Amino acid sequence: MKVKPVEYKVLIKPERVEDKSEGGLYIPETARERQQFASDRGEIIDHGEGFFEKLPGPVPQIGDKVIFNRYAGSLITIVNDKGAREDHRLCNDKDICAIIEE
């Protein structure tokens, strides 16, 4: 399934939450789900035509890592070409707070 955002919407793939903590302990499934839903960092996958059209400041590009408002937009699941399910966020461009530069 392919999803193409319209107008000022942006499709973000949140960072994956690890199964283990830094100390090597396994994180319970329920805690991982809560953590994944609350994730506030991700990679821009696609955006609509009006993306950042009237907003000042630097404009993030597809592939950039960004920080976005924690509960912004809608959580959607996309099935990729290999049949794997991946969670994404579909939110407004103004919900992006910063571009992560490494």
- pLDDT score for 33: 63
Read off the pLDDT of residues 40-82 as tens digits, 9 standing for 90 and up.
889 999 999 999 988 888 899 999 999 998 888 999 999 988 8
**Domains defined along the chain, listed by start:** 9-100 (2.30.33.40)
Average pLDDT, whole number, for the chain? Answer: 84
The model's confidence at residue 99, banded by pLDDT at 50, 70 and 90, is very high
pLDDT computed for residue 56 by the predictor? 85
CB atoms within 10 A of CB 71: 12
Tokens at residue 50, please?
């009006």
Give pLDDT, residue 65: 94
**Average pLDDT of 9-25?**
78
Higher pLDDT pick, 38 / 73: 73
Beta-bridged to residue 43, according to DSSP, are: 13, 65
**Between these two residues, 24 and 91, which has the higher pLDDT value?**
91
CA distance 57 to 94: 11
The sign of the dihedral angle between the CA atoms of 58, 62, 67, 73 is positive
Q: Which residue, 40, 90, 93, 41, is CA-closest to 65? A: 41
